């Protein structure tokens, strides 16, 4: 490939017109440059054995300007010698951002090519979630399960070798015992684990995460994890590799809690929960506990995640906020008008305009995907400059700078 303009043109064709042909060209170029999709399994197994410690892996959801943002991340990763970083997208995000998992994976791969990155890249399916209202409806359950199975197949075929199964929506907190509360969660997680193990490429172990506490709900306990893992492990065939990490609730909420003026409430996290559950997770040969809904938290928490043995932290909404704050006023108003026209059914009676737009504006990212891609370079540069400051802070506080050498030892190609 002659230059970055050529790879950018290929990505644009892949997304907006040619699809598979352009994607294959990007894959071939990545292979030439010694860039490949991989799984965090080896890394997290080293955490599980306590061979390594001291950092928390950032899992970054890129909802818009994916190619530009991923390029920025790869550039910073090279500068700061960051080896441990995940690029992820949730099942729900694939829909409202209009990015399929195959498209997302190839876009990340192309960004690595453009920045002359070398080595493994980790793309993750986040919150591959079962919708509770469909699961417990006999007419809708089959289609819901098939849709998730198809998502898993297409993702793994595309190089998404890190999957977070989220059946925490199925926890029945009203049941009298922890086993009964967690039953549908662990049983569904076990079924999807078996499917993933059948789909994964020979010689590679997909990194699988589970979840015991729905984000935004009550805080998780070691006893809940024990009940979940006890049931889960009984349902796995002998010799089948299980989960390598577990997502827990510590007091966070996805996107934070939006106040009437559009600002976010300061949430109080119980980070001792992370430490206790990471310790418990390692008794079950997992790397540790995972924190969700973290990007809008106060900065002081990010230093503490590695101290509390948090293995991975999921980050999304703050980056979306930076994009919106950096957009030209008229363009932002156009997107907000779309929200008013298309999301009014989600508005609660007591919501202010600020609360409504902060809660729904993520859904405008898909409809405005092409216009965002075609923003003037001046606007993109402003967005990326603001994102860079945030990424730099996160890399430093999470302790992943200077992890490249460690990753090279763990992930020797061939």
Tokens of 125: 């399916």
Mean of pLDDT values over 267-291: 92
Q: Are residues 205 and 56 in the same domain?
A: yes
Which alpha helices (DSSP H) does 81-177 contain, by range?
A: 91-96, 101-114, 132-135, 138-157
Residue 347 has pLDDT above 60, yes or no: yes
Inter-CA distances, 12 with 4, 28, 42, 89, Å:
12, 17, 33, 19
Q: Three-class SS of residue 127?
A: strand
What's the confidence (pLDDT) of residue 214?
Answer: 62
Q: What is the domain range of residue 26?
A: 1-32
Burial class of residue 268, CB neighbours in 10 A (0-12, 13-18, 19+): exposed
Contact predicate 160/125, CB 8 Å: yes
Tokens of 16: 């907006």
What's the confidence (pLDDT) of residue 296?
Answer: 82
Q: Are residues 185 and 257 in the same domain?
A: yes
The reply to whether 342 falls in a domain is no
Q: Cα–Cα distance between 216 and 82 in angstroms, integer?
A: 30
Task: Name the percent of the chain in helix, strand, coil, to the closest 5.
Answer: 55, 10, 35
What's the confidence (pLDDT) of residue 298?
Answer: 85
What's the confidence (pLDDT) of residue 253?
Answer: 61
Contact predicate 10/26, CB 8 Å: yes
Q: What's the mean per-residue pLDDT of the chain?
A: 93
Q: Which residue has the higher pLDDT, 261 or 402?
A: 402
The reply to whether 353 falls in a domain is no
The reply to whether 364 falls in a domain is no
Q: Is 258 left (phi over 0), alpha (psi -120 to 50) or beta?
A: beta
What's the confidence (pLDDT) of residue 148?
Answer: 95
Confidence of residue 316 (pLDDT cuts 50, 70, 90): very high
Q: Give the pLDDT confidence of 241-259 residue by residue, as tens digits.
A: 999 999 998 876 655 677 8
The reply to whether 140 falls in a domain is yes
The secondary element (H helix, E strand) that includes residue 43 is: helix 41-48
The length of the chain is 414
Burial class of residue 50, CB neighbours in 10 A (0-12, 13-18, 19+): exposed
Q: Are residues 26 and 132 in the same domain?
A: no
Q: Are residues 97 and 8 in the same domain?
A: no
Q: Are residues 13 and 140 in the same domain?
A: no
335-350 in b/e burial notation, b at 16+ Cβ within 10 A?
Answer: bbebbeeebeeebeee
Q: Cα–Cα distance between 247 and 243 in angstroms, integer?
A: 11
Q: Give the pLDDT confidence of 230-243 residue by residue, as tens digits.
A: 999 999 999 999 99
Inter-CA distances, 133 with 22, 138, 139, 176, 267, Å:
39, 10, 11, 22, 28
Q: Cα–Cα distance between 350 and 28 in angstroms, integer?
A: 53
Q: Are residues 3 and 139 in the same domain?
A: no
Q: Is 259 left (phi over 0), alpha (psi -120 to 50) or beta?
A: beta
What's the confidence (pLDDT) of residue 255?
Answer: 56
Q: Are residues 43 and 27 in the same domain?
A: no
What's the confidence (pLDDT) of residue 414?
Answer: 53
CATH number (domain holding residue 45) = 3.20.20.70
Domain count, the chain: 2
Residue 168 has pLDDT above 70, yes or no: yes
Confidence of residue 413 (pLDDT cuts 50, 70, 90): confident
The reply to whether 350 falls in a domain is no
Q: Cα–Cα distance between 273 and 215 in angstroms, integer?
A: 14
Which alpha helices (DSSP H) does 251-403 contain, by range?
A: 271-283, 300-307, 317-326, 329-342, 353-360, 369-373, 377-398
Q: Cα–Cα distance between 297 and 315 in angstroms, integer?
A: 10
The reply to whether 388 falls in a domain is yes
What's the confidence (pLDDT) of residue 254?
Answer: 52
Question: Which of 112-121, 213-222, 338-347 shows the lowest mean pLDDT across its residues?
Answer: 213-222
Q: Are residues 323 and 295 in the same domain?
A: yes
Q: Give the pLDDT confidence of 176-202 residue by residue, as tens digits.
A: 999 999 999 999 999 999 999 999 999
Q: Are residues 8 and 149 in the same domain?
A: no
Q: What phi, psi does 289 have (nearest 5°)? A: -95, 155
What's the confidence (pLDDT) of residue 4?
Answer: 76
Contact predicate 225/179, CB 8 Å: no
Q: Give the pLDDT confidence of 114-139 residue by residue, as tens digits.
A: 999 999 999 999 999 989 999 999 99
The reply to whether 347 falls in a domain is no
Q: Are residues 24 and 155 in the same domain?
A: no
Q: Are residues 20 and 147 in the same domain?
A: no
Q: Are residues 28 and 157 in the same domain?
A: no
The reply to whether 155 falls in a domain is yes
Q: What phi, psi does 123 have (nearest 5°)? A: -110, 135
């Amino acid at each position: 490939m002659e230059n970055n303009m050529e790879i950018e043109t290929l990505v644009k064709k892949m997304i907006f017109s040619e699809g598979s042909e352009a994607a294959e060209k990007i894959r071939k170029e990545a292979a030439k440059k010694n860039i490949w999709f991989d799984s965090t399994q080896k890394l997290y197994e080293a955490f599980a054995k306590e061979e390594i410690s001291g950092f928390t892996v950032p899992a970054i959801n890129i909802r818009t300007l994916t190619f530009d943002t991923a390029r920025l991340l790869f550039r910073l990763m090279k500068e700061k010698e960051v080896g441990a970083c995940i690029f992820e997208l949730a099942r729900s995000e694939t829909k409202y951002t209009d990015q399929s998992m195959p498209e997302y994976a190839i876009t990340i791969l192309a960004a690595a090519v453009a920045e002359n990155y070398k080595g493994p890249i980790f793309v993750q399916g986040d919150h591959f979630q079962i919708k509770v209202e469909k699961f417990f409806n006999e007419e809708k359950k089959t289609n819901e399960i098939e849709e998730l199975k198809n998502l898993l197949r297409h993702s793994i075929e595309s190089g998404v070798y890190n999957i977070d199964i989220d059946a925490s929506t199925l926890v029945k907190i009203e049941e009298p015992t922890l086993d009964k509360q967690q039953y549908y969660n662990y049983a569904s997680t076990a079924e999807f684990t078996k499917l993933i193990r059948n789909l994964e490429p020979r010689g590679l172990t997909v990194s699988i995460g589970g979840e015991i506490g729905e984000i935004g709900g009550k805080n998780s306990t070691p006893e809940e994890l024990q009940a979940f893992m006890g049931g889960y492990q009984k349902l796995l065939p002998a010799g089948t590799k299980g989960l390598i990490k577990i997502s827990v609730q510590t007091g966070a909420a996805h996107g934070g809690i939006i106040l009437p003026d559009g600002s976010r409430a300061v949430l109080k996290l119980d980070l001792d929960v992370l430490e206790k559950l990471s310790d418990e997770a390692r008794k079950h040969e997992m790397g540790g506990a995972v924190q969700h809904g973290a990007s809008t938290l106060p900065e002081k928490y990010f230093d503490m995640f590695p101290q509390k043995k948090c293995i991975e932290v999921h980050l999304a909404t703050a980056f979306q906020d930076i994009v919106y704050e950096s957009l030209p006023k008229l363009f932002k108003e156009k997107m907000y008008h779309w929200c008013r026209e298309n999301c009014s059914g989600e508005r609660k009676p007591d919501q202010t305009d600020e609360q409504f737009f902060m809660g729904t504006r993520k859904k405008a990212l898909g409809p405005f995907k092409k216009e965002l891609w075609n923003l003037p370079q001046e606007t993109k540069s402003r967005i990326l400059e603001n994102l860079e400051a945030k990424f730099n802070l996160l890399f430093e506080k999470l302790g992943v700078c200077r992890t490249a050498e460690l990753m090279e030892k763990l992930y020797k190609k061939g």
